[in-house]
Amino acid sequence: MRGEKIPVGILGATGIVGQRLVALLEQHPWFEVTEVAASDRSAGLRYEEAVHWLLPSPIPERVRRLVVKECAPGLECQLVFSALPADVAAEVEPEFARAGYVVCSNASAHRLEPDVPLLIPEVNPDHLQAIAHQRRRRGWARGFIVTNPNCSTIHLTLVLKPLMDRFGLRQVMVTTLQALSGAGYPGVTSLDIVDNVIPFIKNEEEKLETETRKLLGRWEGEGFAFAPLRISAQCNRVPTLDGHMECVSLAFERRPTREEIIEALASFASVPQQLRLPTAPARPIVVREEPDRPQPRLDREVERGMASVVGRIRPCAILDYKMVILGHNTIRGAAGAALLNAELLLAQGWLP
């Protein structure tokens, strides 16, 4: 059986998201990590020498001794996950796609390009239609790039999707309280964040306000029509390790009851659930009724970190309803998102 798994590579394998990918792929039924690539500084070392491993689970045995390669085509696999920094991804990912690789990218570099799917399998699986256009336009024979959104955007959008479908969405106000791991490693230095909050994350508000509208928009054959939503975001860094929290206020086209909202969220299931993709959560959205939930440390592991947890659903004095969203930022918000995208690609026949 093992010999039949699909070999995959990880670009940026030593970073926080790369580590999560290594861990999530350890027991994966379809994929097997055969290549790890990182910056020149790490290339040539064994993975265990190159990585500053931050997860409580040990480095998987198979990956521990892999020799880290450079981030350039030549890896022995046809599918690569990219956990590269945006500026590196901007150059490297197209090289891989041109060389025939399927690239599932967590990087922001190509998310907003008019021929690149920005994908959440539960939200906009039909956006994969853009792949054919992407290949044509760029002259790529077999390879292509599919991206997943920013870590805070994923959880927001996952929750907005069933609400938009049922009640129509007009306005979204969101204030985030984001975890440290979202800044990568080394990221935020302790002297800046112990006993503190930083009310600024570079480019994050723009990503939330833009990516969400592409995700909830439509593929129109030659490009994406963004959803006609108004979104306003304020982003903060708080001293939690994992788990982004979002305080949201929403205005609908048709004001639902509180029960209708809960029902729409709790019953939500979509293509990944129907296809039983291995990494798909049974419940993409989990609703909590306690007055003080969700909380990052207590709820980030729900559904192995692949769900968005929603609580405190209540009326808003200005827009229609307020609620609190919580989700794991490096699992569903990054590594798990890229992996679920790859699973959808395989299940729908996009992999060679």
**Chain residues in the site for a second copy (CB under 8 A):** 16, 53-54, 56-58, 171-173, 175, 177, 180-181, 185-200, 209, 230-232, 234, 236, 238-241, 245, 247, 249, 291-298, 300-302, 311-312, 316-319, 322, 324
Residue tagged active-site, from 151, 155, 235, 328: 151
Residue 39 or residue 175: which is nearer to a second copy going by CB? 175
Residue tagged active-site, from 110, 127, 244, 328: 244
**CA 280/CA 270 separation, integer angstroms:** 10
In the beta sheet, which residues pair with residue 40?
A: none
Residue 23 or residue 119: which is nearer to a second copy going by CB? 23
Q: How far is the CB of 27 from a second copy (least distance, A)?
A: 17
Residue owning tokens 């069933």 = 162
Residue 149 or residue 311: which is nearer to a second copy going by CB? 311
The backbone torsions φ and ψ at residue 223, rounded to the nearest 5 degrees and listed phi first, read: 180, 180
Q: How far is the CB of 174 from a second copy (least distance, A)?
A: 9
Does the annotation count 316 as an active-site position? no
Residue 133 or residue 288: which is nearer to a second copy going by CB? 288
Q: How far is the CB of 23 from a second copy (least distance, A)?
A: 13
Of 55, 90, 49, the closest CA to residue 71 belongs to 90
Own/partner pairs for 187-190, CB < 8 Å, 24+ apart? 187/16, 188/237
Kind plus residue range of the DSSP H or E element containing 283:
none
The single-letter DSSP state of residue 133 is H
Q: How far is the CB of 98 from a second copy (least distance, A)?
A: 35
Who contacts 32 (Cβ-Cβ below 8 Å, separation ≥6)?
2, 5, 6, 7, 8, 25, 62
The single-letter DSSP state of residue 46 is B
Which residues are part of the catalytic machinery?
A: 151, 244
